[in-house]
Amino acid sequence: MTVQCLFVDRDGTINVEKNYLHKIEDLEYIPRALEALRRATARGVRIYIVTNQAGIAKGIFREEDFHTLTAKMLQDMREHGIEIAAVLYCPHHPQATVPAYRQNCDCRKPGTGLFQRVLSREKSGPEFMAMVGDKNSDIEAGRKLGMVTYLVETGYGAVEKSETHADYVVSDLMAAVEHMLGGDVIS
C-alpha cells in the first residue's frame, strides 16, 4: 500500500486524551506519536489532523483556546521535523450549550465534510489515503470515503476495538505509520 495522504485524529491518537484538552500546560504527547509523524513527513506523506472539538460547542473552552493550543502543537511538530498540511476541526455539536455551535453538521466525524475539503484539492484518490484514530467515529469517516483505516489502542481505542470495522487495530500511531510505510509490523 502506498499512502500519500494521512488523516490523523488528534486527541487520543497524537496527544494523551485529557477530556476536552484546551490548555497548553495539559498537553502531553503519546509516546512515539511525534516520531511516527516525523517518519511520515520524511517519506513525503501529506498529513492532515482532523478533530472534533465539542468542547467549544459545550462552552468548556473558546475557539481562541483551540487555536492557541494548535499553534503550540504545530510549533512542537515543526521542531521535530513534522510538516502538517492542515488542521481541520469541527466546533459543532447537536446538543451544544453555545447556540452558535448547535447543529448537526457534516463536518463532525463520522461525517465527511472536513475530509471532502481536502479530497477536492488532493491529486490522489482515497485508495492512496489512510485514516488513523482512536474512536470508531474516526474509522467510519475514513471507511465512508474508501480509505484504509487504523484504530489505535491509545485513547478510547482499547475500548472501542471490540466493535470496530477498522481495517487494522494497532497499538499506536507508530505501528500504523510503520505498516503504511511498507513494514508488515502490526503490534
Q: Residue 71 belongs to a domain with what CATH number?
A: 3.40.50.1000
State how many domains the chain has: 1
Average pLDDT for 133-149: 97
Q: Tell me which of 19-23, 43-47, 123-127 is least confident.
A: 123-127
Read off the pLDDT of residues 84-109 as tens digits, 9 standing for 90 and up.
Answer: 999 999 999 999 999 999 999 999 99
Mean pLDDT of the chain: 95
pLDDT of residue 187: 45
Give dist(CA 18, CA 168) in Å, integer. Answer: 25
The torsion angles phi and psi of 178, rounded to 5 degrees, stand at -60, -45
Q: Cα–Cα distances in Å, from 144 out to 81, 127, 166?
A: 31, 12, 11
Does residue 12 sit within a domain? yes
Does residue 104 sit within a domain? no
Q: Kindly tell me if the per-residue pLDDT of 184 is higher than 70.
A: no
Reduced DSSP (H G I as helix, E B as strand, rest coil) percent helix, strand, coil of the chain, to 5: 40, 20, 45
Given a contact cutoff of 8 angstroms between Cβ atoms, the answer to whether 170 and 180 are in contact is no
The range of the structural domain enclosing residue 131 comes to 5-52+64-83+122-180
pLDDT of residue 163: 95
Cross-strand pairs, 89: 51
Does residue 149 sit within a domain? yes
Q: Kindly tell me if the per-residue pLDDT of 2 is higher than 90.
A: no
Does residue 163 sit within a domain? yes
Helices (H), the chain: 33-42, 54-57, 63-79, 113-119, 136-144, 157-160, 173-180
Does residue 168 sit within a domain? yes
Given a contact cutoff of 8 angstroms between Cβ atoms, the answer to whether 86 and 48 are in contact is yes
Confidence class for position 110, pLDDT limits 50, 70, 90: very high
- The share of the chain scoring above pLDDT 70, in percent, equals 97
